[in-house]
Structure 1
Amino acid sequence: MTALQQIADALETLPTTAFLVLDHGHTVLDHGATTAPTFLASARKSVLSVLYGPAVADGTIRLDATLDELGIDDIDGLLPQERRATVRDLLTSSSGVYHPPAAAAGPEDEAPARGTQPPGTLFHYNNWDFNTLGTIFERCTGRPVFTALAEDLAAPLGFDDFDPARQRLLGRPDISEHLSHHLFLSARDLGRLGTTMLQDGRWHDRQVVPATWVAESTSVQVDRGAGVQLDYGYLWWLPRLLGRGSFLAIGNFGQYLLCVPPGLVIVHLRAVSDEIVLARTQGTPAPNPIDSVSPQQFMKLVRGIQIALRS
């Protein structure tokens, strides 16, 4: 039995929907429904980071612009201190704004009290930051996030499975005016995105994402100190065990896009029903138990792939 066959067999024991491995754009392993668009959960945030690249490079979005300058507010108002948070603070999940997010997700239950943390001083995974980045993108560029996804990534990268009608703006506007831009993409389309990022933002002969943004957004912006395995860039997780230069998108249930220089891209997706998606974003109980693929299980697969490629 080959090492790759062992990985394929291991995948059969997991609730995996799709698993794709690319090496410099060439398919190493294609397992499951790799052409089916799937809810990305929080992996969407890394895709939003990619969309920010051209707008930051041409000055349409300034990383040092404050929420006050951008006219960003929310239900019942932001505190004066919160209004001083910058776009960069939101990209590093360090805004110090702990207003409830529109889409219930969980970590906010453990957030510090509002007004206790100055902007830029504490990393706290915070969906309000991520949702508001979607609002900021749309106000500054004059384009919906989903339109930018279609025009700036899906079209130039030749996404095969992109469905504009599948993308969803979700959340409760009675809690926050900044809703969640939820994305549904296939493993093979995510594989193209990952390959593009590892090629310094180039796809064939076209510079799709500025190389400077690729480097900056996937470098350590938040060193999370001793005892953790993941640092943080601009909406990308940076796994220490794989060495500097690697970056990772993570979404609940088992959504992963891992990029390891010089050219290894690994995509793992676990599909969930629309009923589960809606329940999760509305803060209501899920209709059925959800079997997920944990980061530890994913990293075991990654180690198996690395061994197989070296053999």
Structure 2
Amino acid sequence: MIALHQVVDALEALPTTAFLVLDQGRTVLDHGTTTTPGFLASARKSVLSVLYGPAVADGTIRLDATLDELGIDDIGGLLPQERRATVRDLLTSSSGVYHPATAAAGPEDDAPARGTQPPGALFLYNNWDFNTLGTIFERCTGRPVFAALAEDLAAPLGFEDFDPARQRLLGRPDVSEHLAHHLFLSARDLGRLGTMLLQNGRWNDRQVVPASWVAESTSVQVDRGPGVQLDYGYLWWLPRILGRGSFLAIGNFGQYLLCVPPGLVIVHQRAVPDDTVLARTQGTPAPNPIDSVSPVQFMKLVRAVQAALRS
């Protein structure tokens, strides 16, 4: 397919490590090292959302449970208002809790002063929310996040490159007691995850994730208003340009998992050295600059793939 050769040419001009396209589970394009586990950066948060599905469905985790009910606190203490934030508020990055996060700083650097925004009032991409969701998952389920990843996703989906020893709990415990669960997965294993989600949570004859959770978590929970391209679900970005039903995980440096109904899955990865990962999570300068693949560049690749599949 000539048009796909044009996609490969575009990839060669980028610092792409792996690029995988699946359509209805069939491999359309496999470029780069798609079998090597890579750092997901913030794309990890969308995987955590998937893990939440069974626990929410069976009542182990209640979306309306507050931080106070769950006994969640942090260094220096949370404010009374912050303790009223619910699990749902954290899943939509709208908790109003602007306690410093343990790992790399991000948009929350520009957060309002603590106690000025009630829970649920303001969407602000906030690593404290995401890291604390890992703590909540482990306390409510009694299972480590990494064990759930292995047992609930890697095993039933038949991940081929999953390495339990690569997963890392990182951050600075002197800043926050809620550390970041960083994941390392290959492009082809992420492709299986995306395909399963587009099949309403089913893989072969097994319902891996409740269909109701797939629908709810990837639907608009935060309409971000005019002038933006991405709305938000439960830890998933929702690209307006691709139409309702599409959902996207985004990680720094160029980590993407895009799912477009009925069956298109596109994975892009940019390898990040371990010393850079450690530096970011410890709040220190990276040893060497890393070229990134921006969301704009990724979406150009997506459009080229879609055009090739139509030709």
Equivalent in the alignment of 1:69: 69
Q: Contact (CA 8 Å) 2:106, 2:126: kept in 1 or not? A: no
1:113 aligns to 2:113 (yes or no): yes
Q: Give the aligned residue type for 1:138.
A: E
Shift of 1:106: 2.2
CA distance in 1, matches of 2:105, 2:40: 14
Q: Give the aligned residue type for 1:173.
A: P
Deviations 1:137-191 (A, max 9, x none): 0000000000000000000000000000000000000000000000000000000
1:24 aligns to 2:24 (yes or no): yes
CA distance in 2, matches of 1:132, 1:40: 18
CA distance in 2, matches of 1:203, 1:275: 36
SS for the counterpart of 1:94 is: coil
1:50 aligns to 2:60 (yes or no): no
CA distance in 1, matches of 2:14, 2:283: 26
Equivalent in the alignment of 2:231: 231
The alignment of Structure 1 onto Structure 2 pairs a total of residues equal to 311
1:196-207 equivalence runs, <5 A: 196-207=196-207
1:117-156 equivalence runs, <5 A: 117-156=117-156
1:1-311 equivalence runs, <5 A: 2-311=2-311
CA distance in 1, matches of 2:304, 2:212: 32
Q: Give aligned-pair identity as a percent.
A: 89
RMSD: 0.6
Shift of 1:108: 1.9
SS for the counterpart of 2:181 is: strand
Q: Give the aligned residue type for 1:239.
A: P
Deviations 1:23-59 (A, max 9, x none): 0000000000000000000000000000000000000
Structure 1 segments unaligned to the other structure (5+ residues): none
Structure 2 segments unaligned to the other structure (5+ residues): none
CA distance in 2, matches of 1:286, 1:105: 13
Deviations 1:192-225 (A, max 9, x none): 0000000000001100000000000000000000
Shift of 1:4: 0.3
Q: Contact (CA 8 Å) 2:202, 2:209: kept in 1 or not? A: yes
Structure 1 length normalisation: TM-score?
A: 1.00
CA distance in 1, matches of 2:28, 2:105: 34
Q: Give the aligned residue type for 1:224.
A: R
Shift of 1:107: 1.5
CA distance in 1, matches of 2:170, 2:80: 28
SS for the counterpart of 1:181 is: strand
SS for the counterpart of 1:61 is: coil
Structure 2 length normalisation: TM-score?
A: 1.00
CA distance in 2, matches of 1:19, 1:109: 32
